[in-house]
Structure 1
Amino acid sequence: MDAPAAIRNQRGPGVLALQWGDAEAVISHARLRGACPCSQCRAARLQGRVSLVSDDVRIERVVAQGYGVQLVFSDGHERGIYPWQYLRDLG
């Protein structure tokens, strides 16, 4: 999957907007934090542990990783790398 043509991190409303060739996906920061694909977060979900994510969590930085992006959150979490297809599926 190719990278989106544009990525806009809108901190005020707390959304990440991704412009694909055929569609735009707008995903809340809280949803992205709750769906973190890092090994620790995935293991917690598989064990049935529910991680409550505050609605006021924000993405501080978006770091390109080639096949996706690393998202750095205001709660200090920065382990997850979100592949492009995963982001497209979330949106």
Structure 2
Amino acid sequence: MEAPSAIRNQRGPGMLALQWADAEVLISHARLRGACPCSQCRAERLQGLLSVVRHAVRVEQVVVQGYGVQLVFSDGHERGIYPWQYLRALG
């Protein structure tokens, strides 16, 4: 899947907006943090451990990594790289 044509980090309302040719996808920062694809977070979810994500968590930085983005969160978590297709599905 191709990268979106635009990425906007709306920190005030806590939303990440991704613009593709056929649709705009909006995903809350809390949903993104809760769906982190890093190995540690995936392992916790597979073990049935439920991590509480504060609604106030924010994406502080968006780093494009070619096939997706690395998100740096206000709680210090920065391990996950979110592939474009995964982001599209989350929206």
TM-score, normalization by structure 1:
0.99
Figure out how many residues of one structure are paired with residues of the other and give that number: 91
What is the distance in 1 between the residues matched to 2:19 and 2:25? 7
RMSD across aligned positions (CA): 0.3
Structure 2 counterpart of 1:46, one-letter code:
L
Given the alignment of the two structures, is residue 15 of structure 1 paired with residue 15 of structure 2, yes or no? yes
What is the distance in 1 between the residues matched to 2:48 and 2:7? 32
**Counterparts of residues 1-91 of structure 1 (less than 5 Å):** 1-91=1-91
TM-score, normalization by structure 2:
0.99
What is the distance in 2 between the residues matched to 1:66 and 1:19? 16
Aligned sequence identity (%)? 81
C-alpha distance after superposition, 1:37-90 (max 9, x if no partner): 000000000000000000000000000100000000000000000000000000
Structure 2: any 5+ residue segments left out of the alignment?
none
